[in-house]
Amino acid sequence: MKFVAFERAKQGTGASRRLRISGRTPGIVYGGAGEPQLIELDHNNLWHALKKEAFHASVLDMEVDGKEAKVLLRDVQYHPFKQLVLHVDFQRVDAKTKLHMKVPVHYKGAEESPAVKVDKCLVTVLVNELEVACMPSDLPEFIEIDLSGLTKGAPLHLNDVKLPKGVSAVVRGGKSNPALVSIAAPAGGEAEAAPAEGEAAPADDKKAAKK
């Protein structure tokens, strides 16, 4: 995904405020062998780009003064209540250096699984993104997980997922195999079957019949 930025000469609160008034958003590019670079972007173009999932989870092609560089979006600061982007941070990408990145997870097929279709279980997604480690060229835009094989009483864990080639999961917080999806039996369990013809009705039903 490609976007255009411009070099920014001035910095400071006053300069940034004037930029925003003119429809530009201040930003910075850091990392790699180069020095931090001050940039500015067209606010409207940036606002629409930020609505796209790929802009947050892909290696981006940034053009500044005719020169292109590979970068990752690392931070976005929004105004507390206005539809306004205050500042953006990008990190340069070295093609030979492994990177860590949070990647969105897309689930599919839950409605076709035995857990839902047969046992009427409730499937709850616990994790919407995974932190991964990989080379820039192997970074996936998202990770798709097929839930059509889910069964009652068998939640999906990280080790159950086959990640794309060259991609490994980064696990934090002491959990080596966290659950990604939980499965709960329907509330109240299975409905009670009606008595067969000629079979005695429950005591409460007999009382009701006498009234």
Q: What is the mean pLDDT of the chain?
A: 87
Q: DSSP string spanning 27-42?
A: EEEE-SSSPPEEEEEE
User: Which one-letter DSSP state was computed for residue 180?
Assistant: E
Task: Tokens 């997870």: give the residue.
Answer: 105
> What is the pLDDT, as a whole number, of residue 188?
65
Comparing CA positions, the residue from 22, 71, 19, 18 lying closest to residue 49 is: 71
- The answer to whether 194 and 143 have CB atoms below 8 angstroms apart is no
pTM above 0.75, yes or no: yes
Q: DSSP string spanning 32-94?
A: SSSPPEEEEEEHHHHHHHHTSHHHHHS-EEEEETTEEEEEEEEEEEE-SSSS-EEEEEEEE--
- The answer to whether 151 and 185 have CB atoms below 8 angstroms apart is no
The answer to whether residue 189 scores a pLDDT higher than 70 is no
- The answer to whether 7 and 62 have CB atoms below 8 angstroms apart is no
State pLDDT tens for residues 48-80. 999 999 999 999 999 998 899 999 999 999 999
Distance CA 137, CA 200 (A): 70
Structure tokens that stand for 161 in this block: 């997922």
Comparing CA positions, the residue from 113, 8, 1 lying closest to residue 61 is: 1
Domains (range + CATH), the chain: 2-92 (2.40.240.10), 99-184 (2.170.120.20)
State pLDDT tens for residues 95-144. 999 999 999 999 999 999 999 999 999 999 999 999 999 999 999 999 99
Share of the chain above pLDDT 90, in %: 72
Q: What mean pLDDT do residues 174-201 have?
A: 67
Those residues with Cβ within 8 angstroms of residue 122's Cβ, 6 or more apart along the chain or in another chain: 183, 184, 185, 186
